[in-house]
């Protein structure tokens, strides 16, 4: 016994065969419109309409699904390529900036007559009580306690402890740091002490000293630690108390300690 589905299929096939036969008959008389021709047209139009809709559906599926799958894959590939390009661009930029810093450091090294050793800043003091940094040079490289440390901009600090592979540097902005220095323009001497807030005090500047904001302060070399003539900073604030022998002077260091990456250790 045939199922209803099979019966429908047989009806469709039979209808298609009848339409084909009628089309063959009408094809012999193309310019004549008889009852047979009208029957053929009435029977074939639904089939043509169905075939056309099927073709449109297939084209729509190709354009909006299969083609989009290929486009999505191409988009993902381009995104991966762009991500790799961004990483390479960042690496190239970092290398260029590092070259610029090393070039400045080499220029500074050529100006210092003493033997120096380049080092990288690899850490900060975790306690927060002291203004110190850790460098990747130690006793194996000839670094020991008391050696001065400089950067391309000026004085950084001094070594306060060294192990085999690293050393700790006390920055000049720490309260326990002190440098004998003078104003480059008028040669007035004083002591640079840290204030832990990215600035320093310039102590023992007599009231009659004709100093100005913006004057450059350099090391005097009289403390036996830092060679003479190294840049320390610029005078940023001056005040004269109503009484006393000295002015209150603040100095802004040339070195930006928040961006410090490479330094030079003076070995002699």
| Contact predicate 121/234, CB 8 Å | no
Cα 118 from Cα 149, distance rounded (Å):
10
Q: Which of the pair, 249 or 88, is modelled with greater confidence?
A: 249
Percent of the chain surpassing pLDDT 90: 41
pLDDT at position 8: 67
pLDDT at position 16: 65
Enumerate the H helices of 33-135 as residue ranges: 35-61, 67-111
Class of domain 115-268: mainly beta
Residue 31 burial (CB < 10 Å; 0-12/13-18/19+)?
exposed
pLDDT averaged over every residue in the chain: 81
Indicate the pairing of strand 132-135 with strand 116-124.
antiparallel
* Residue 219 neighbours by CB under 8 Å, 6+ apart: 155, 179, 180, 181, 226, 227, 228, 229, 230, 232
SS3 179: strand
Domain ranges for the chain, please list them. 19-111, 115-268
| Tokens found for residue 97 | 């900036």
pLDDT over 80 at 35, yes or no: no
pLDDT at position 180: 96
Percent of the chain surpassing pLDDT 70: 72
- pLDDT tens, position by position, 222-241: 988 999 999 999 999 999 88
- pLDDT tens, position by position, 40-99: 555 556 656 666 676 766 666 666 665 666 777 778 788 888 888 888 777 777 777 777
Mean pLDDT on 192-196: 88
pLDDT over 80 at 191, yes or no: yes
| Contact predicate 132/260, CB 8 Å | no
pLDDT at position 36: 53
Q: Which of the pair, 139 or 129, is modelled with greater confidence?
A: 139
| Contact predicate 159/138, CB 8 Å | no
Q: Which of the pair, 136 or 3, is modelled with greater confidence?
A: 136
pLDDT over 60 at 2, yes or no: no
């Amino acid at each position: 016994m045939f199922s209803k589905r099979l019966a429908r299929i047989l009806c469709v096939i039979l209808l298609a065969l009848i339409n084909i036969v009628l089309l063959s008959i009408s094809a012999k008389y193309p310019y004549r419109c008889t009852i047979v021709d009208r029957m053929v047209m009435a029977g074939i139009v639904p089939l043509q309409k169905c075939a056309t809709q099927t073709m449109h559906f297939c084209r729509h599926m190709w354009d909006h699904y299969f083609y989009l799958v290929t486009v999505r894959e191409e988009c993902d590939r381009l995104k991966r390529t762009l991500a790799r390009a961004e990483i390479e661009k960042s690496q190239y930029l970092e290398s260029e900036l590092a070259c610029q810093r090393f070039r400045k450091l080499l220029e500074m090294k050529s100006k210092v007559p003493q033997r120096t050793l380049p080092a990288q800043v690899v850490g900060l003091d975790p306690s927060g009580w002291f203004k110190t940094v850790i460098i990747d040079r130690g006793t194996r490289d000839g670094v020991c306690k008391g050696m001065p440390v400089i950067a391309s901009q000026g004085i950084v600090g001094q070594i306060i402890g060294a192990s085999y592979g690293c050393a700790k540097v006390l920055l000049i902005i720490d309260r326990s740091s002190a440098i004998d220095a003078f104003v480059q323009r008028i040669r007035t001497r004083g002591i640079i002490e840290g204030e832990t807030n990215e600035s320093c005090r310039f102590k023992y500047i007599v009231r009659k000293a004709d100093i100005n904001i913006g004057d450059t302060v350099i090391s005097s070399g009289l403390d036996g630690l830092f060679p003479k003539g190294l840049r320390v900073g610029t005078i940023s604030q001056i005040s004269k108390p109503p009484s006393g022998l000295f002015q209150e002077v603040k100095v802004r260091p040339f070195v930006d300690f928040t961006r410090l990456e490479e330094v030079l250790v003076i070995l002699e």
